[in-house]
Amino acid sequence: MKHARVAYMGTIHHAVEHDGHLKLDDGRIVAEHEVVWLPPVSPRTVFALGLNYADHAKELAFTPPSEPLVFLKGPNTLIGHRAHTRRPSDATYMHYECELAVVIGRSGRNIRREDAYDYVWGYTIANDYAIRDYLENYYRPNLRVKNRDTCTPVGPWLVDAADIDDPMNLTLRTYVNGKLTQEGNTRDMIFDIPALIEYLSGFMTLNRGDMILTGTPEGLADTAVGDEVVAEIEGIGRLVNTIVGDDAFPSP
C-alpha cells in the first residue's frame, strides 16, 4: 500500500492511494492536485549517506569509502512532493541527488544484517540537493550543504516494505525539465540496506520513523531557477520539485 501525509482544507491528514486519487483518513476522496503534499512520515532522526555508489565516488574522483560515511539532517530540510527548493543567489553549482529512503518500522539496537529487513516499515524517495560551492570536504558534508531549509524533498508516498520485492534492485532516474539526466540501480550501492541498518544500530538505537537516505548514483547536473526536477524510483513513484530563487522567500 502507498501512504501519504497531506494538508487539505487546513487540516493534516494521513492518506492512501485510491484509484489514482487520495483517500483521506476521514474517508473523503480527493484529487492529488487538491492537496498540499507533506513528507510521508515525520522522522525522528534522518541519516544520509555520502559516496554510497561506486560510480558516484568515481564521478567525484574519490576512492570509495571503506565504511559508511554518514551525516545527520534536521527536520527543517524536509519538504513534500510538488514543493519548492531554494537556490541561493551565490550558488554556482547546485545539483539534485535522487535517493532511496528507508523508513524504520520498529525500535532496535545491534540488529544483525540477516534480520535487518524485519525492522523496515517501508520506502520513499528523497532528492537531497547539494551546493558544491559550500562544501568544505567531500567526506564531511557541512551544515550549509545538507541542512539548508527546503533542500530535501521527500515523497510522495511511503510504500510498504511488503510491496517491494527487492529493494536492492530498483532503478533510479532523475529528469530535469523532462530530460533524463541520471540513471542508476540500488544494486550498485557500496553498503546495502542490511549493512547500513546493522552499522547504525551497532552504536545507537534505531526508532520507528527514522529515515536512512542511502546515497545517489552518478549523473549529477547543475540546476537553475525555474527547473522542474523529477526523482523517480521503480515501484515507489515520482517526486516532483521546482527550483526557485531567493525572491520567492520573504526577507527576514
| Domain ranges, ordered by start, for the chain | 1-38, 39-248
Query: Residue 150 and residue 194: Cα distance in Å, rounded?
Result: 29
Query: Residue 103 and residue 238: Cα distance in Å, rounded?
Result: 17
Going 190 to 202 to 198 to 43, the CA torsion angle's sign is: negative
Please, which residues have CB within 8 angstroms of residue 208's CB and are 6 or more apart in sequence?
A: 44, 104, 105, 106, 107, 121
- Report the predicted TM-score, pTM, of the whole model to 2 decimal places: 0.95
Annotation: CATH topology of 39-248: Fumarylacetoacetate hydrolase; domain 2 (3.90.850)
The residue length of the chain stands at 252
Query: Residue 105 and residue 206: Cα distance in Å, rounded?
Result: 9
Per residue in 133-160, pLDDT (tens digit) is 887 765 555 778 889 999 999 999 999 9
Per residue in 55-75, pLDDT (tens digit) is 766 676 567 778 998 999 999
Could you list the beta-strand ranges (E) of 96-247.
98-104, 120-127, 130-131, 152-160, 171-176, 179-185, 211-213, 228-233, 237-244
ω into residue 43 within 30 of 0, thus cis? no
Decide which of 1.10.3720.10, 3.40.50.720, 2.40.50.140, 2.30.30.370 is the CATH code for 1-38: 2.30.30.370
Residue 60's pLDDT is 64
